[in-house]
Amino acid sequence: MAARESWFAPVQGRHRTVSGPFAIAYELIAALFSLWYLYTSGFGLVSTETNRGLYLLFTAVLVFIRFPAHARAPGHRPSIIDCVLVILAVASIGYWMDQYVPYAMFRVSDPNRWDFVMGIAAIVVVLETSRRVLGPAIPIIALVFLLQLYYGPYLPGKLSHSGLPVDRIVEFTFSTQEAMFGVVTATFATFVFPFMIFGAFLERSGAGTFFMDLATALTGKWRGGPAKIATVSSALFGSISGSSVANVVASGAFTIPMMKKIGFKPHHAGAIEAIASTGGQIMPPIMGAGVFILATLTQTGYLDIAVMNVIPAVLFFFFVLLMVDLEAVRTGIKGMPADEVPRVREVLRRGWHFFIPLVVVVTLLFKGYSPDLGAFWGIISAMALSWLRKDTAMKPRDIFRGMVSGAHSNTSAGAAIGSLGVIIGGIILAGLGLKFSAVLVEFAGGNLLLTVALVTVISVIIGMGSSTTGSYIILAVVAAPALVQLGVPEVPAHLVVFYAACLSNITPPVCVSAFAGAAIAGADPMKTGFAALKFGTTLVLIPFSFVYVPELLLQGTALEIAAAAVSYLLGYAALAVAIQGSDYLAGTVEPWRKTVFLAAAVCFLLPMIWWLKAAGVALFAAAWGLRALVPGRT
């Protein structure tokens, strides 16, 4: 158990395992990072510049200690370059926090030399922070948006502008609260990071094990049980994980070997965990990190967005479970042995209290309190309730490790935030948001269907090698306004972009969640990516449903909402049978009958027109009824 662990441990990072004094320094800084934002979420009244500045500062320092500049850098300690960058981060971001008020009062549009020098240093720091953790994609995009500010006159068509001098670009990017230290940084510092700490404390208190055991007890005996365990556990716990990749690694280490053991092919095992973990990002009540940005950008209550997503999320996991079950039918995979599956009653008896922190969070949100305060009391309740059982009681050592774990998770999720702020600043200063939207609408000829398709494709491209949150933030500024311009309400327009950003996690050629699953499964990454896309086909369709079937987002009467939910339930069922080529009565589904199922799915998934639904029911019934005509059915 956690209580028997050491206070300090070697720090794992890509190409580096920090040990000794540097590991101790890392974990002390990480614990201080979490402690500070735990305080601000519950009690703190701190200045805006302190809240935003310390978030980027702590993140950068931890990244430079944990992640080397290149593969040949020292593997057990920071290099001289790392130490220099830590000093630059402290100096430049510390300068911004100290000088923001004097700048805002006396130097707006007239920055001094130190504003410029420290601005250059801070831009270098945040770009390098992103590069080390996420690779070159995000920093390159950020540099492109900085360069377009200077070379504006040379941009094509509507995107062109008069261009800006370097000092003005640096001032807007660094000195103001519009770019690097803008709304994205504020949202992560205020809302997202406290929930990462909450997730870490739940895990340390034993909730992660409980949710996995509960999923095993509920689904382990079923056909293809471990795959259903992966799906259910990701739905239960993936919501409060800041990253779908982190969820793959956390639960996949357990579920993927189990799936392989009972007969799933390695690439299917990795794919199922990848798509289930990606689905955790759209599952209420927490919905990962991106939803907080969505709530901020649309100025909509976080709880309102979570409630709107209940039906789409439940339908999504229904489809994944059905795909998994039909895969087991098709390949003859059975469930786990009965003696390896715990009893539901026993699991609930030992861990029912782990639902209470989630209830605390949701109750506070329903009462109108801020999400960060909900996270704070969720953390406090998780610590207190862990003492209901001696083997899960969180002692000071466990609390320390929980704070370190929360900050550790943030180095992956938060590394892109400064660079994303740079990108947003470049878009705002050049007025590219509306310009890009106009170009997108014009390219699509004002056709809403084509515009949604283009937004989805662009989201997948931008999402290559990036996080769900990163790709969503970029597209929320440049693509969502195009949908709004064509008459889509603001929140559904942003949900289109958000779900499309989630799709990029499992879409080849670069699909980070699928690659993580493939690494654990020992499978081919590309085969795993295409398999994940197959098991998560509905993630491609959901963005279109938000535009054409708003009833799924609770927009309509109770009868209209229920009719839409049932229509999509039947549509997803027909689609799953058509894709997998197997059903529960005839075994193998002949190609011509798969076509009938696919036609039924199309009718069910199109807009809510009564004759389409009647045609869907007729086709669905015919597809089942015609099984008697299939010669030699199994």
How high is the pLDDT of residue 237? 66
My answer on whether 109 and 211 are in the same domain is: no
Whether residue 19 sits in one domain with residue 102: yes
pTM (2 d.p.): 0.83
- Residue 372, domain member (yes or no): yes
Domain membership of residue 316 (yes or no) is no
- Type of residue at 616: G
241: which 2 tokens? 């994980």
Classify 176 in phi/psi space as left (phi over 0), alpha (psi -120 to 50) or beta: beta
Secondary structure of 148-186 as H, E, C letters: HHHCHHHCCHHHCCCCCCHHHHHHHHHHCCCCCCCHHHH
Q: Where does a domain end: 342, 376, 411?
A: 411
The C-alpha atoms of residue 634 and residue 625 are separated, in whole angstroms, by 15
Q: What is the pLDDT of residue 507?
A: 83
Length of the chain measured in residues: 634
How many helices (H) and strands (E) are present in the chain, helices listed first?
31, 2
Decide if 435 is inside a domain.
Answer: no
Q: Residue 226: its pLDDT value, please?
A: 82
Q: What pLDDT sits at residue 173?
A: 96
d(CA 315, CA 325): 15
pLDDT for the residue numbered 263: 85
Burial class from Cβ neighbours inside 10 Å (0-12, 13-18, 19+) for residue 368 reads exposed
**Domain end: 159, 179, 199, which one?**
179
**pLDDT for 544-577, tens place per residue?**
999 999 999 999 899 999 999 999 999 999 999 9
257 and 401 housed in the same domain = yes
- Give 391-396's long-range contacts (Cβ < 8 A, gap of 24+): 391/1, 391/206, 392/1, 392/205, 392/206, 393/3, 394/2, 394/201, 394/204, 394/205, 395/3
pLDDT of the residue at 2 = 41
Q: What is the pLDDT of residue 1?
A: 40
Q: In the chain, how many domains are there?
A: 3
Q: Yes or no: say if 421 and 182 are a contact pair by the CB < 8 Å rule.
A: yes
Please tell me whether residues 195 and 170 are part of one structural domain: no
Q: Which residues pair with 16 in a beta bridge?
A: 13
Q: List CB contacts of 595: < 8 A, sequence separation 6 or more.
A: 578
Of 339, 327, 342, nearest in space to 275 by CA = 327
Query: Quick one: CA dihedral 219, 203, 539, 372, positive or negative?
Result: positive
pLDDT of residue 163: 92
Is residue 255, in this structure, part of any structural domain at all?
yes
Burial group, residue 106, by CB count within 10 angstroms (0-12, 13-18, 19+): exposed
Whether residue 200 lies inside any domain: the answer is yes
Q: What is the pLDDT of residues 203-251, one digit of tens each?
A: 888 887 888 888 888 888 888 888 888 888 777 766 665 567 767 876 7
Q: Say how far apart CA 591 and CA 12 lie, in whole Å.
A: 50
Specify whether 169 is located in the same domain as 189. Answer: no
Among 369, 391, 411, identify where a domain stops. 411
Q: Can you spell out the DSSP letters for 200-267?
A: HHHHHTTHHHHHHHHHHHHHTTSTTHHHHHHHHHHHHHGGGSS-HHHHHHHHHHHHHHHHHHHT--HH
Token pair belonging to 56: 């980027």
Phi, psi at 18, each rounded to 5° = -75, 135
User: Are 206 and 281 in the same domain?
Assistant: yes
For residues 249-288, one letter each, b for 16 or more C-beta atoms within 10 angstroms of the residue's C-beta and e for the rest, the string is: bbbbebbbebbbebebbbbbbbbbbbbbbbbbbbbbbbbb
| The residue to which tokens 């799953």 are assigned | 576
Q: Are residues 338 and 393 in the same domain?
A: yes
**254 and 132 within one domain:** no
Q: Which domain holds residue 108?
A: 10-179
Does residue 127 share a domain with residue 78? yes
Does 214 share its domain with 356? yes
Name the residue among 387, 339, 52 with its Cα closest to residue 220.
Answer: 339
| Residue 534: inside a domain | no
Domain presence at residue 549: no
75 plus 200 within the same structural domain: no
How far from the centroid of its chain's Cα atoms is residue 297's Cα?
Answer: 17
Q: Residue 488 falls within a domain, yes or no?
A: no
Instruction: Label residue 496 exposed, middle or buried (CB < 10 Å: 0-12, 13-18, 19+).
Output: buried
| Angstrom distance (rounded) from CA 233 to CA 213 | 9
- 3-state DSSP call for residue 349? helix
CB atoms within 10 A of CB 94: 14
**Which residues, at least 6 apart from 319, have a Cβ–Cβ distance to it below 8 Å?**
537, 538, 572, 575, 576
| Contact (Cβ atoms closer than 8 angstroms) between residue 88 and residue 33 | no
Eight-class DSSP state of 190: I
Return the structure tokens found at 375.
Answer: 């996270």
Give the residues of the chain that fall short of pLDDT 50: 1-3, 632-634
CA angle 148, 151, 156 (to 5 degrees): 80
Are 40 and 20 members of one domain?
yes
* Contact predicate 306/285, CB 8 Å: yes
pLDDT (0 to 100) of residue 634: 41
Angle at Cα 628 formed by Cα 623 and Cα 634, nearest 5°?
A: 100
